[in-house]
Chains A and B, each alone.
Chain A
Amino acid sequence: NAGVTQTPKFQVLKTGQSMTLQCAQDMNHNSMYWYRQDPGMGLRLIYYSASEGTTDKGEVPNGYNVSRLNKREFSLRLESAAPSQTSVYFCASRELAGRSSHEQYFGPGTRLTVT
């Protein structure tokens, strides 16, 4: 099993450009998440999908959109990139909402720089 995979690993954008970060998991997990990691701020939740067909805003959703394409894939889109979106983005997945095990499995991250 590859676990959680993310593409690309690195990306540089100019202000105003758009792009989509891809995430896929092969663990048959129901819930998927997008976080951003900034120095001194830990990880902050952008959007999550509790199950296929549903998405909800997290702590910092502004400037982002998501698509839960199917059970495996959860993409994050920046429609018009801004320098404030320079960050490391992590995708994560979890087996089932509401169960006693809350472990989330993380991908390796995408390092995004917006100039």
Chain B
Amino acid sequence: GNSVTQMEGPVTLSEEAFLTINCTYTATGYPSLFWYVQYPGEGLQLLLKATKADDKGSNKGFEATYRKETTSFHLEKGSVQVSDSAVYFCALTGYGGATNKLIFGTGTLLAVQP
């Protein structure tokens, strides 16, 4: 079945450091890929998405490219801020069967220190 694997955290960085959070997936067909962010005490918010191979999703300085050849969707940001401290979830949804379902990775906690 479909699954998502993302790097375990916590990831601790200093402000202005470069961020990469790895995400790989297993899926049949052509899934859509997402990064969600959860700030402390809140629900999840969509950060960015990509719906087909080679698409690049971007938002708030974060980027991720849908790589079908490596089944990856790594999240990157060139210069993190303290306000980026949150839990980041990689997720996918596919076609066929129950197309509504989002499948999440386990989440990666990012802590940015001033």
Contacts and interface: CB of A to CB of B under 8 A. Distances in A.
A97 B99 CA distance: 7
Interface string B17-55: 000000000000000101000000111111001010000
B102 interface: yes
Contact of B100 (A94, A100, A106): A94
Nearest to B51: A100
A100 B51 CA distance: 8
A42 B45 contact: no
A33 B100 contact: yes
B8 to A, nearest CB: 9
A48 to B, nearest CB: 6
Contact of B42 (A40, A98, A108): A108
A45 interface: yes
Task: For chain B, give the interface size range.
Answer: 20 to 34
A12 B86 CA distance: 26
B111 to A, nearest CB: 16
A42 B104 contact: yes
A42 B99 contact: no
Contacts of B51: 100
Interface centre among B32, B34, B98, B101 (most CB of A within 10 A): B101
A92 B41 CA distance: 16
B89 A104 contact: no
Contacts of B45: 106
Interface in A54-73: 56, 58
Interface of B: 32, 34, 41-46, 49, 51, 89, 93, 98-102, 104-107
